[in-house]
């Protein structure tokens, strides 16, 4: 049996930009992607704390240490600059792998700068 398990969580991200004309994705500061163990084009679930919207998309790197969190394409309809987001990624694990798995939780400040990276 296989299970989808939380791999990483970025919490308290603030939307810095929204670009409706881009073809789709979530632009994310490269340093935050690394902290959360996210690869370019990896699928993520985005939760908007302000309006309850949820969406699935993929991440693309934005300049390192820029603090950029940009909703692109259709995702730009799901939030506005200043909204608080939670970004989740999952991994498919065999049952025996779940006992040794530990998700990464990344917390940021109001400018999307890394505050804490915890492995649960």
Q: Looking at 22, 58, 90, 107, which residue is catalytic? A: 58
Q: Looking at 25, 66, 89, 107, which residue is catalytic? A: 25
Is 25 annotated in the active site?
Answer: yes
Contacts of 64 (CB under 8 A, 6+ apart): 29, 30, 31
Task: Provide the annotated active-site residues.
Answer: 25, 58
């Amino acid at each position: 049996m296989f299970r989808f398990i939380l791999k990483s969580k970025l919490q308290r991200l603030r939307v810095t930009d929204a670009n409706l004309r881009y073809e789709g994705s979530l632009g994310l500061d490269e340093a935050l992607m690394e902290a959360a163990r996210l690869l370019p084009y990896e699928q993520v679930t985005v939760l908007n704390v302000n309006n309850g919207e949820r969406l699935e998309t993929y991440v693309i790197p934005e300049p390192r240490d820029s603090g950029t969190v940009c909703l692109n394409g259709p995702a730009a309809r799901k939030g506005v600059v200043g909204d608080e987001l939670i970004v989740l990624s999952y991994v498919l694990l065999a049952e025996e792998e779940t006992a040794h798995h530990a998700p990464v939780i990344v917390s940021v400040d109001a400018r999307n700068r890394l505050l804490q990276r915890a492995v649960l």
